[in-house]
Amino acid sequence: MFMGEYQHNIDAKGRIIVPSKFREDLGEKFVITRGLDKCVFAYPLSEWNVIEEKLKKLPLTKKDARAFTRFFFSGAVECEVDKQGRINIPAPLRTYAALEKECIVIGVSNRVEFWAKDDWETYFEESEDSFAEIAENMMDFDI
């Protein structure tokens, strides 16, 4: 399980440190792709395979299913951590998530998310007031 929040800089070549606490669970190779809310998602291969199987079952005749599958898979790239504990995030993903200098790397249960620091702070501030309401709504899911 991934959890926690870490701050790291991304360099001009698109390399960013993956927190050491995440590296072992992500594995030797893992997949990054466009995430929701303008961040980059990272999944261990085992989790990626589960998601892939679920998305393959979506009906091709549904416009939303086609759109989401395109969005999710077209940005996907397999990654490996280098000897310095970094990955290279390709330019299209860096542009999508506005990853330029200061970044926040968070663990979210089955995935890791890479955020531009300013975007994460804005998201967190805007969501903070509604956390109680969100938690109340989660009761419908027996949480």
Parse the chain into domains and list their residue ranges.
Answer: 2-141
Specify the residue for token string 């698109």. Answer: 14
Mean pLDDT, the chain, whole residue set: 94
Task: Say what percent of the chain tops pLDDT 90.
Answer: 85
- Average pLDDT (77-101) is 97
**Domain 2-141 classified CATH 3.40.1550.20?**
yes
Instruction: Report whether pLDDT(142) > 70.
Output: no
Average pLDDT of span 16-25: 96
Cβ atoms within 10 Å of 113's Cβ, excluding its own: 20
Q: What mean pLDDT comes out for the span 64-71?
A: 94
Read off the tokens for 38.
Answer: 């303008």
Using pLDDT thresholds of 50, 70 and 90, give the confidence band for residue 85: very high
* Residue located via tokens 């027996």: 142
